[in-house]
């Protein structure tokens, strides 16, 4: 039953004909895991908290960066450097004291995904990379858990619901991942600040519909939204047997072409042997100004016409923020230099 205080908190839901007390109790009893507390995760978490979802899990191993504040509306300047998952839970608990938050300050991997997903009724994907999206899809299929998907790109976004009562999955829509160079993230190409708010709100809406069993869920459908033209369309797609999942991939970054056979080195290993390497920073100028560990600086976007400037007298350690852009740089540089050893700084700065 709802307490007197909960009835006050959820009054506008209780008087809503398609939700009412029955629907609100379903929300109270529901358990939702949100992957990522970034651009998409922030609005998803805010609205699911406000709606009264009983238990909300937040998994994110990242910390707040100043560049996040343009769109990740749960955070403030004072939160820079703090855990996103823990900070989000702390702020959300002030919005609704009747919600329990489970905080996971870790990365979603093929080691923890299954055990985590088994604890929740719905999974909401707020990730920003293809490796996590395929992992999330596969774990949702294996645990038979509905998955609410969202993605953003510059001024456009997508929303869908996968694996809902036998519906199509992410692999039915995207059987194979794109090449890394064809899928830049927002740190490389930018994103309109309000876009994740719109798409994340739509994800929260689908989650509430699933829990309360109201309306038409976006299963077997892909909603596409363009902020510049305000156009919206829904594409239908079908489930395919070729997208069947029987087990998790051993390495999703390798599956998505992000990780190759390139040598890797940790920051600690690098610092202990700094004299035997040359360094190459492929981040943007503003990132370099904030922090760096030395070496040459050639942004990834300029590398194609400046690669001959790279100092190759020693093995070259290439670094960026997370290790993804540096891997792309190495893939390119290895085609230009046959005899030079390039090493990726694992997980970047």
- Residues with catalytic annotation? 186, 320
Which secondary-structure segment (H or E) carries 100? strand 100-104
Rounded-to-integer distance, Cα 177 and Cα 134, Å: 8
Residues 6 or more apart in contact with residue 284 via CB below 8 angstroms: 299
Question: What is the rounded distance in angstroms from the CA atom of residue 160 to the CA atom of residue 221?
Answer: 6
Whether 85 and 105 have beta carbons less than 8 Å apart is answered as yes
Tokens matching residue 39: 């651009």
- State the Cα–Cα distance between residues 142 and 231, nearest whole angstrom: 35
- Alpha-carbon span 290 to 304, nearest angstrom: 24
C-alpha to C-alpha distances, 346 to 25, 259, 321, nearest whole angstrom: 46, 10, 10
Q: Are residues 225 and 198 in contact, defined by beta-carbon separation less than 8 angstroms?
A: yes
Cα angle 229, 232, 236 (rounded to 5 degrees) comes to: 145
């Amino acid at each position: 039953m709802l307490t007197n205080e909960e009835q006050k908190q959820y009054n506008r839901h209780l008087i809503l004909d398609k939700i009412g007390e029955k629907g609100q109790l379903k929300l109270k009893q529901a358990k939702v895991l949100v992957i990522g507390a970034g651009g998409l995760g922030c609005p998803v978490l805010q609205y699911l908290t406000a709606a009264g979802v009983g238990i909300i899990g937040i998994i994110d191993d990242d910390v707040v960066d100043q560049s996040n504040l343009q769109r990740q509306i749960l955070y403030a300047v004072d939160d820079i450097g703090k855990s996103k998952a823990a900070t989000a839970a702390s702020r959300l608990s002030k919005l609704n004291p009747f919600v329990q938050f489970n905080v996971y300050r870790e990365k979603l991997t093929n080691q923890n995904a299954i055990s985590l997903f088994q604890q929740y009724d719905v999974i909401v994907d707020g990730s920003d990379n293809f490796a996590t999206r395929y992992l999330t899809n596969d774990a949702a299929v294996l645990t038979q858990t509905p998955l609410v998907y969202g993605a953003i790109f510059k001024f456009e976004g997508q929303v869908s619901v996968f694996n809902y009562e036998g519906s199509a999955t992410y692999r039915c829509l995207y059987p194979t991942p794109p090449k890394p160079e064809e899928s830049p993230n927002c740190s490389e190409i930018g994103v309109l600040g309000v876009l994740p708010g719109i798409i994340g709100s739509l994800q929260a809406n689908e989650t509430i519909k699933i829990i309360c069993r109201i309306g038409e869920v976006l299963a077997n459908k892909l909603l596409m939204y363009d902020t510049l033209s305000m156009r919206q369309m829904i594409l239908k797609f079908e489930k395919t047997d070729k997208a069947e999942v029987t087990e998790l991939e051993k390495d999703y970054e390798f599956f998505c072409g992000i990780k190759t056979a390139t040598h890797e080195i940790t920051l600690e290993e690098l610092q202990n042997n700094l004299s035997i390497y040359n360094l190459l920073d492929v981040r943007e100028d503003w990132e370099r100004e904030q922090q760096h560990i030395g070496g040459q600086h050639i942004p990834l976007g300029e590398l194609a016409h400046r690669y001959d400037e790279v100092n190759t007298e020693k093995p070259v350690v290439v670094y960026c923020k997370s290790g993804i852009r540096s891997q792309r740089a190495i893939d390119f540089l290895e085609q230009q230099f046959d005899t030079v050893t390039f090493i990726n700084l694992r997980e970047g700065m």
